[in-house]
Amino acid sequence: MHHPFDPVRTMNSLTEPLHQHHKHCDELFADAEAAAAAKDWSRCKSMLERFRDEMEGHFRTEEEMLFPAFEAATGMTGGPTQMMRIEHAQMRELMGQMQAALAQTAGEAFAGAAETLLVFMQQHNMKEENILYPMCDRSLAGQAADLGPKLHEKLEAECLAAQ
Amino acid sequence: MHPNLSFEQAPPIGVPYRFFLTAPWFGVAAGLLLAVFGGEMLASRWTPGTLAATHLLVAGFMLQAMCGALMQFVPVAAGGNIWRPTWVAGAVHPLLIVAVSLLVAAFLSMHPPLFIAAAHVFLVTLAFFGVVVSLALWRTPARGATIMALRIALLGLLVTMGLGVTLATGLARGSDLPLLTLTDVHVGWGLGGWALMLLAGVSYFVVPMFQLTPAYPAWLARGLPVMLLLGLLAWSAQLAGLGENLRMGILLFGLAVGSAFAVGTLYLQSRRRRKVSDTTLLFFRTAMLCLLAIFLSGLLFAVRPDFWNDPRAAIWIGMLALVGVFVSAIQGMLYKIMPFLNWLHLQRLCGLNMLPPTMNQMIPERAMRRQYYMHLLGLALLLLAVWQPALARLAGLVFAIDCVWLGLNLLQAVRVYRRFKAELEHKTAAAV
């Protein structure tokens, strides 16, 4: 029987892998944050590296493949995708701040940057999942058969390259 | 037209902050009132002091925080454009302070013109606020359980206000209306239709976001507002006359819906992926446990009518609801929202060359945690004082300290914001 608190599987869409990958990055974030809270700095270092690499892979998949396809299909170049690029840059900065705190094993500074990144990342993901991805799914529906697997492959390749 | 990927739509920081920074001080006033009046205030819900303190909490503390939150949340999270937010906030915020002050003075003096004046100011202010926010929620392209809950909450606010205005004018001018029954309906819409509905709608959004919990399942997220609304409609039928058993049944139904939300939230939080816990989580759990405790108390009162007939039973429920559920949830929420808004606005000012202080530097975790313990102590003393009136003055004082502390912590966030902004302007000026 379907557990009443488990999410219902959404329809397979072009952006589904990116959607799922958000959750995966959440897990990696939570591990890195927990390791820092436990002052297990060596574990934190490896978890943070993994988290940053996967985030970077995610950003690149969007910035190098999904966004250009969306912009080409809609002609919207200065709108939502631009906003998302700026937010990616801000998250890169915050991850840099976490890295710097880690290098100094500064627990409080790490926790502060992590907290900020978490809230920022969640509101960013929500905007993508609720607004931008559905817009992409609609405007790129014609290319889904081709672009869908490509997106998936790129995301996997970027993240595998990271490991 | 495509919906905006908003933060562009976020109002200026002063819009939510003027409400947020005012809210705690109404809590301080309520606590001090109890410290002055002492145990007699907890003997029945109908004493002037009780009515005054209750409205300091609901129409002062809670309403300020909730209006401020809506001004921020509707454009940013619900994609609804609020018409001229700075102007709306600039009018609604001071008018609400005036309205509550008049109402509290009216209860304490029982002076009829004050009731009439309070009723008018509430009517104008909340009708205006309700229309402006409803329009934004009506036009948003966004869909989902949060939007549904927010829309019903707005309706709840307006019904609560309408009944409140009727009660105030009835008290002032004398009336044939069944004022006691009207009061119960007014309370139901205020706590269930407005406050809990809004809390649920916002929680669908922020609980998964802050703690990385799974999302609320759709059946719960959508079922809750509908069930609550049905319960409130049935509860309102007592104006036409209802048997005592039926009335109790409807009350228990409503409380059960509330506790379903509480259990659902606690369950989701127990499955959170984030392992680190923070003060907001503690506040939220406290709120949800109190919501559950209200339902359990209701069950107890249903089987023990002798308890229910004790006037202190209603005070007990009210204390759990106001201080236990809503003040706790709001305090926890403010501790996330204000540091984040600070960071976001500062971040935008400095671009990518420089990073603002992190959220934890806006309000230190330690300061929030200690204030949380003070809140717990205040809540525990208030609940005890319902049955041990000798504790009432102490409980009022501790609750006042709890709220002063909250207010100071929030002001601390504003100080950090201002300091950093000044530094930034200084640097920009130096660069030019």
Burial class from Cβ neighbours inside 10 Å (0-12, 13-18, 19+) for residue B367 reads middle
Q: How is residue B128 written in tokens?
A: 């205006």
pLDDT at B4: 45
CA separation (Å) from B38 to A19, B59, B108, B377, B396?
56, 22, 15, 18, 8
pLDDT at B277: 86
CB B98 within 8 A of CB B121: yes
| Mutation choice for B interface testing from A2, A131, A137, A138 by most B CBs within 10 A | A131
Q: How is residue B64 written in tokens?
A: 């300020």
Q: How far is A154 from chain B (nearest CA, A)?
A: 25
Query: How long, in residues, is chain A?
Result: 163
pLDDT at B428: 80
* Residues of chain B in Cβ contact (below 8 Å) with chain A: 2-8, 77, 79, 142, 205, 208-210, 212, 214-215, 217-219, 264, 267-268, 271, 273-276, 278, 336, 340, 343-344, 347, 352, 355, 357-361, 365
- A93, A116, A130 ranked by CB distance to B359: nearest: A116
Q: How is residue A148 written in tokens?
A: 């869908």
Q: How many CB atoms lie within 10 A of CB A109?
A: 19
Q: Given the structure tokens 């959607």, which residue do they identify?
A: A19
| Mutation choice for A interface testing from B9, B276, B349 by most A CBs within 10 A | B276
Are B359 and A97 an interchain contact pair (Cβ–Cβ within 8 Å)? no
Are B215 and A127 an interchain contact pair (Cβ–Cβ within 8 Å)? no
Contacts B4 to A, Cβ<8 Å: 80
Helix B145-173 crosses helix B112-139 at what angle (to 10 degrees)?
160
Q: How many CB atoms lie within 10 A of CB B292?
A: 21
Distance CA A35, CA B241 (A): 61
Q: Which of B186, B206, B209, B210 is nearest to B198 (CA)?
A: B206
Q: How is residue B426 written in tokens?
A: 């200084």
Are A7 and B359 an interchain contact pair (Cβ–Cβ within 8 Å)? no
Q: In one letter, which amino acid is B215?
A: A
CB B259 within 8 A of CB B291: yes
Distance CA B3, CA A61 (A): 23
Helix, strand or coil, per DSSP, at residue A62: helix
Contacts A8 to B, Cβ<8 Å: 218
Handedness of CA A151, A152, A155, A157 (dihedral sign): negative
Are A30 and B355 an interchain contact pair (Cβ–Cβ within 8 Å)? no
Contacts A131 to B, Cβ<8 Å: 3, 5, 79
Are A80 and B5 an interchain contact pair (Cβ–Cβ within 8 Å)? yes
Q: Given the structure tokens 């102007």, which residue do they identify?
A: B87
In this predicted complex, what is the ipTM? 0.87
Size of the A and B interface in Cβ pairs below 8 Å:
96
Distance CA A157, CA A160 (A): 5
pLDDT at B3: 42
- A34, A116, A120 ranked by CB distance to B276: nearest: A34
Q: How is residue A101 written in tokens?
A: 């705190």
Residue of B nearest to A127 (CA): B5
Residue of A nearest to B353 (CA): A93
pLDDT at B2: 38
Distance CA B118, CA B146 (A): 32
In this structure, which topology does domain A16-162 adopt according to CATH? Four Helix Bundle (Hemerythrin (Met), subunit A) (1.20.120)
Q: Which of B127, B185, B120, B183 is nearest to B154 (CA)?
A: B127
Q: How is residue B352 written in tokens?
A: 């990518």
Q: Cα dihedral angle (B312, B313, B315, B318), rounded to 10 degrees?
A: 180
Are B274 and A33 an interchain contact pair (Cβ–Cβ within 8 Å)? yes
Q: How far is B127 from chain A (nearest CA, A)?
A: 31
Distance CA B320, CA B250 (A): 19
Contacts B365 to A, Cβ<8 Å: 111
Are A76 and B2 an interchain contact pair (Cβ–Cβ within 8 Å)? yes
What is the CA angle B140-B141-B147, rounded to 5? 60
Residues of chain B with pLDDT under 50: 1-7
Q: In one letter, which amino acid is A129?
A: E
Q: Given the structure tokens 């059946």, which residue do they identify?
A: B219
What is the CA angle B39-B56-B163, rounded to 5? 110
Residues B178-204 as b or e (16 or more Cβ within 10 Å = b): eeebbbbbbbbbbbbbbbbbbbbbbbb
Q: How far is A71 from chain B (nearest CA, A)?
A: 14
Distance CA A101, CA A98 (A): 5
All structural domains of chain B: 7-417 (1.20.210.10)
Task: Report which secondary-structure segment, H or E, holds B28.
Answer: helix B14-37
Distance CA B220, CA B217 (A): 6
Residues of chain A with pLDDT under 70: 1-12, 161-163
CB B416 within 8 A of CB B356: no
Q: How is residue A136 written in tokens?
A: 């992409």
